[in-house]
Amino acid sequence: MPMMFKIAPYNTAATQLALNEKVGQLFMPAAFINDTEEEIQGLEKLIGKYHVGGLCFFHSRASAATNFEGKKKIVYNEQSLTTLKNLIRRYQNAAKFPLLISIDAEWGLAMRIENTPQYPYAITLGAIQNKEDLIFKVGRQIAMDCREAGIHWNLAPVVDINNNPNNPVIGYRSFGEDKLNVTKKAKAFIKGTQSVGVLSCIKHFPGHGDTATDSHLGLPIITKSKEALIENELYPFRETIRNGVDSVMVGHLSVPSLDNGEGTPATISKTIITGLLRQELNFNGVVISDALNMHSVSKMFPEKGELEWRAFDAGNDILCFAENTKEGIQKIMGNADPGEIEERFKRVWKLKEQAFATYTLPNTIKEEQSSLNKQLAEESLTLLTGSDKIISDFKREGFNCLSLGEPTNKTFLEAASKIAAKGPKNEDNVLIALYPPKVKPQNNFDLKTEELEQLQHLLKTKKVMLYVFGNPYLLNLIEYKTAKAVVLGYQNFIEFQDNALAHFRGKITAKGTLPVTINLKES
């Protein structure tokens, strides 16, 4: 079980902490599960000396998103969860005041940690129709896994509306392109998270969906009018704030129409944070910056501490992935009004009080990961083109099977091959199970060029039945409309493959709806 801590009420803390300690509470440096002992001791010293308020955990320095271009090898560590728990214990012991521990667990701890429960990506949940109780359960299960590990704060859900199919960084992390669907799903996820005493966070304000630049590496510019943004991108933020959410993460996004044409990154824009988020949208909770190591902003400020000061001055309460804690504290101490520091400290400390409140979990609500994933598979499976009759005729005529990609398991294909072996031989009908190796779109989802060419050739020359176990945006790469039928399974989990097999056999109907638009590739 996670360590139990008591935290002093704000009224007591306000008089006990020195001003520099209060500023330290606003800093949330990164912690890496696969650090060396030397690096661990370095972070322990930082915690002890500068009284940082919390930590945000990542898998390893090699996996940090800004290392994409470094192509550093990510080391697999099947003991990551045990390591994480031990590190949390060590870091908490190094702290004078209990640390607020956060992580990105949008689809479960598996987003950062090997051998932990994984739930479907948001795009898969977005395909589910009118079953918000299931989304609530996903939020709750992930939150319970967080609690068990000693994590207080899940930096999720993403409420960006993904209306740009070329988005390199949001895409599958969004519930889709429809503001009402995104908002309904987000509210249910948040309620599930909060139901077991874990903090939630909506991101990436004011909306990272309609971008074609990865803000880890460059600064996306959004040229829409303020009226258009209020109508669409800002809608899920406004509605989830009204419904109650603990925190908002501000993204590194240049949106000139929201800051008098200046185009300053939102994370360091007082007009966007203090003006739009605080005053216009009436958000009174904690504002956390997106990771300050991201190149879209970090490259703008070579002087150490300047970025941390600018992020504070714009209105962020917590400085996530701050890389210059010492210099940042000095800058804020030298520039900020003490009353402003106190206001930020109060918000952060109140959030910590909430995180460390005694919470008894009912024994009755734990649901098996596999059972929940099975329900999610049944509700999300999407028949994109074709019909059940076409699939039935295809089976009756006989078919061959082909797998493309690199699946960890091929349960769908293996079972379908047995069905094919029992039926008539027909070289013209080909059932293709497509398992894209990566969910991110870079490098064509890591599908080999020859595999895409083979797929295109088969689509032109054969009667193809295509089942996709991955990010549906990969259909942008092919002339999928020439297939006899396209079925989206979304995930390559065994539960999703088993469900797709039941559909292919004609045992069930597809209930899901693709929550995004696919651009038709012209032949």
Tokens of 473: 């945006």
Gap between the Cα atoms of 412 and 19, Å rounded:
60
Residue type, 69: E
288 phi, psi to nearest 5 deg:
-115, 140
282-313 burial, b at 16+ Cβ within 10 Å, e below that, comes to ebebbbbbbbbbbbbbbeebeeebbbbbbbbb
Gap between the Cα atoms of 136 and 124, Å rounded:
14
Q: Whose CA is closest to 305, among 335, 269, 338?
A: 335
Gap between the Cα atoms of 238 and 278, Å rounded:
11
C-alpha separations of 253 from 197, 205, 515 in Å: 31, 8, 24
Using DSSP bridges, classify how beta strands 153-154 and 485-488 pair: parallel, antiparallel or unpaired.
unpaired
CA angle 426, 427, 430 (to 5 degrees): 95
Q: Whose CA is closest to 46, among 322, 343, 309, 351?
A: 322
**Cβ distance 341 to 276 under 8 Å?**
no
Tokens of 157: 């859900």
DSSP classification of residue 199: B
The count of C-alpha atoms lying within 13 angstroms of the C-alpha of 340, restricted to the half-sphere facing its C-beta, is: 14
Active-site residue (options: 290, 317, 337, 428) = 290
Residue 290 is a catalytic residue: yes
Helical (H) or strand (E) element with 379: helix 369-380
Catalytic site residues? 290
